Amino acid sequence: MPAPVLLTDEQRTRMHDLYRQLHEHPELSMQEHRTAALVQAELEQCGIDTFSCGGTGVVGVLRNGEGPVVAFRADIDALPIKEDTGLPFASTATGTLADGTEVPVMHGCGHDAHAAALLTAARLLAGAKDRWAGTIVFIFQPGEETGAGARAMVEDGLWEKAPKPEVVFGQHVMPGLAGTVQYVHGHPMTQADSWKVTLHGRQSHGSQPQDSIDPIVLGAHIITRIQTIVSREVDPRRSAVVTVGTFHGGLKENIIPSSAEFTLNVRAFDESVRDTVLGALRRIIKAEADASNAPEPTIEVLSSFPPNLNDRQATDDVVKALRQELGEASVIEGEPVMASEDFGHLVEPICVPSVFWFFGGHPAETLAAERIPVNHSPLFAPVMEPTLSTGARAAVAAILSKVGLER
């Protein structure tokens, strides 16, 4: 069994300070310049070699003689949300979306906790080289929320610049009990696809509908019809979700517009279910346009999140290490969630095992409340402890399960 690496009070205080800095200064996806500079400075202060990758991504490589190579990933981007947590270090930051819209920005998904925990794990391991041998690759990934960051790092030569690992680890804070970890065998999260669909019509006065092709009515039929895909085309023993998140059309109540658009999101664990749903969407969108005598709609893929698969043996090894570190009762087998991650894009090109788990961020009293703040909520604020310490200790334990020395 690898010798433990202890998190001291001094290191815990440093982790809290890092977390406050990250939380107070969030940045939108692929714009994480300040965050990347902070991450790089922290890693280099620990004597870890670094390089930039994928725009605002940062990679640290910590070598310690001959041995296995292991990688651990944390994401660093934030969301266009106006924070309403009331924290003394709450974000008042703003950012600019790709279309030029200025928006409030918040770490509403816990990526600040992921980064602070992994930076702390890196510092602990850099100071305990007598406890392990091999190479650790610390990946601080931008743009997870848009599904762009992992792909950008791979396309920028991540696995040509960094040693190829034998396993890749990742974790995510969720609204579970702080101090606990949940793992899943198989798929912990779904694949996800987001589209923007533009409907093309013919504009006319509202009093002369016979001269129009109404894209709003067309959109209403499409959106109603696609609600039947999951209930009538997917085996009820399997799962999928189809959500229409936005619908925009027209500028005035007495003008039938020339176009309208909506965005949709699809989630599924199984690749064949995903293919069924996406195929049905294309079929229905085209068929309803034909029924309205409208031109074929334009479909733009906004994002695509890959499968996320936990290797059975690697998961069992990590669970054993986590239970040794955190205690049997704190490491629980959970259920897959319908959320998605682009973590799989890091793993796909190198065909190695991966393990991705969740750690809780709420105290018992918050979980007992009528409404629990969840990820992407303006109220999402994981309690600092024991959340951060659990994340850091879990990262160290998982890494040592691969590179730790026997005592």
User: Does the pLDDT value for residue 340 go beyond 90?
Assistant: yes
Is 172 part of any known ligand binding site?
A: yes
Give residue 55's pLDDT.
97
Reading the block at residue 20, the tokens are: 């406050």
Is 145 part of any known ligand binding site?
A: yes
Give residue 3's pLDDT.
54
State the Cα–Cα distance between residues 179 and 199, nearest whole angstrom. 48
Q: How far is CA 292 from CA 209, 217, 221, 389, in A?
A: 13, 9, 10, 58
State the Cα–Cα distance between residues 101 and 82, nearest whole angstrom. 14
Is 376 part of any known ligand binding site?
A: yes
pLDDT band at 407 (very low <50, low <70, confident <90, very high): very low
pLDDT band at 5 (very low <50, low <70, confident <90, very high): confident
Reading the block at residue 266, the tokens are: 């699809």
Is 33 part of any known ligand binding site?
A: no
What's the CATH superfamily of 9-184+334-403? Zn peptidases (3.40.630.10)
Q: CB atoms < 10 A from the CB of 316, how many?
A: 14
Reading the block at residue 81, the tokens are: 């949300």
User: Does the pLDDT value for residue 4 go beyond 80?
Assistant: no
Beta bridge partners of 183: 333
What residues have CB less than 8 Å from 126, skipping those under 6 apart? 46, 47, 48, 62
Is the CB of residue 81 less than 8 Å from the CB of residue 354? Answer: no
Is the CB of residue 159 less than 8 Å from the CB of residue 350? Answer: yes
- Say which DSSP state 194 is in: E
pLDDT per residue as tens digits for the range 139-173 = 999 999 999 999 999 999 999 999 999 999 999 99
Is 362 part of any known ligand binding site?
A: no
Is the CB of residue 142 less than 8 Å from the CB of residue 52? Answer: no
Reading the block at residue 323, the tokens are: 């239970």
Average pLDDT value over all residues in the chain = 96
User: Does the pLDDT value for residue 85 go beyond 80?
Assistant: yes
State the Cα–Cα distance between residues 126 and 88, nearest whole angstrom. 32
Sign of CA dihedral 51, 54, 59, 65: negative
Sign of CA dihedral 115, 120, 121, 123: positive
Give residue 152's pLDDT.
98
pLDDT per residue as tens digits for the range 238-294 = 999 999 999 999 999 999 999 999 999 999 999 999 999 999 999 999 999 999 999
Is the CB of residue 79 less than 8 Å from the CB of residue 105? Answer: yes
Stated length of the chain = 407
User: Does the pLDDT value for residue 205 go beyond 80?
Assistant: yes
Pairing of strands 259-268, 191-200: antiparallel
- Mean pLDDT across 206-219: 97
Reading the block at residue 271, the tokens are: 């690749």
Reading the block at residue 222, the tokens are: 């499409």
Fold of 191-304: Alpha-Beta Plaits (3.30.70)
- Mean pLDDT across 171-177: 97
Reading the block at residue 215, the tokens are: 């894209």
Q: Which of 405, 402, 387, 388 is nearest to 321 (CA)?
A: 402
Reading the block at residue 124, the tokens are: 């602990």
Which residue stretches of 25-110 are H helix? 33-45
User: Does the pLDDT value for residue 104 go beyond 80?
Assistant: yes
- Mean pLDDT across 98-126: 97
What type of residue is 219? G
User: Does the pLDDT value for residue 52 go beyond 90?
Assistant: yes
pTM for the structure as a whole: 0.92
Residue ranges per structural domain of the chain: 9-184+334-403, 191-304
pLDDT per residue as tens digits for the range 298-323 = 999 999 999 999 999 999 999 999 99
Residue 373: asked if its preceding bond is cis (omega within 30°), the reply is no
